[in-house]
Amino acid sequence: MNRVAFESQDISGALNDQASLMSGGKRLLMLLLNCLPFLHAISIALLIGLPWGRLPTRIFAGLLLLYVAPPLAARLLRAVAPVRDGRIPIGNPQFFTWWALFNLQAIFCRFPALEEMLRMVPGFYSVWLRLWGSRIGRFTYWAPGTRIMDRSFLRIGDDVMLGASVRINPHVIAKNDRDELELILATVIIGDRAVVGGYSLLTAGTELAADECTRAFLVSPPFERWKNGVRLSKTGSP
């Protein structure tokens, strides 16, 4: 694999050339899915702002729409249109499932403070991630600034600590041997009692062994496995 695009929070630009090769219907579908974050935000504003009930009731309904509706929609979408770990061609049906999932989460990527508020209550953030489909063990510590891009593709053991501003990015966009863009999507796995050093980046398919303690600023390319501070496998296919 070459030319992996690690900066995946806003990948629309990276997909422009590939999208130009899609049919008109597929390009329209991508554009419609891009509207999900905006529609989500507008719906919350209308639900709270319109005088359909008492203000506390409207605020409660808005919070449900903000925090509960997207993970439930994501679980339903994955049940109806499963997307599996691996290499997925741009324009493949599984790619569009992932693209919809990504846009359901986009509001939290754009406004990280929304997740920081959840982390203020011990254990609450882990419960919320489980609602997305993540498998999160007990006593996970989320330091300030933690960023997760694909909340349905995460598996964390017990007693794990994540340092400041750790980024977990279970997808990357890369060019294959035919110079075509493809989505690499794979669950990030962190073993029991692991400690992830601050400002690290864990990408698609990264696995940290139990009791692993990584250095700060670790960058783990796709499908890397780490144990006792040693990289056990080189970047490659799952």
* Residue 176 pLDDT level (bands cut at 50, 70, 90): confident
Q: What is the pLDDT of residues 222-233, one digit of tens each?
A: 999 999 888 886
The span from the CA of 131 to the CA of 152, in Å, is 9
- Tell me whether strands 225-227 and 181-185 are parallel, antiparallel or unpaired: unpaired
> Which tokens hold the place of 197?
């050093």
One-letter amino acid at 100 equals: A
- Tell me whether strands 225-227 and 230-231 are parallel, antiparallel or unpaired: antiparallel
User: Within a 10 A sphere around the Cβ of 138, how many other Cβ atoms?
Assistant: 11
Residues 6+ apart with CB under 8 A from 31: none
The span from the CA of 41 to the CA of 124, in Å, is 22
pLDDT over 60 (residue 8): no
pTM recorded for the entire structure = 0.88
The span from the CA of 138 to the CA of 54, in Å, is 38
Q: What is the pLDDT of residues 76-122, one digit of tens each?
A: 999 999 999 999 999 899 999 999 999 999 999 999 999 999 999 99
* Cα–Cα nearest to 201, from 130, 125, 137, 145: 145
The span from the CA of 55 to the CA of 190, in Å, is 42
Residues 6+ apart with CB under 8 A from 23: none
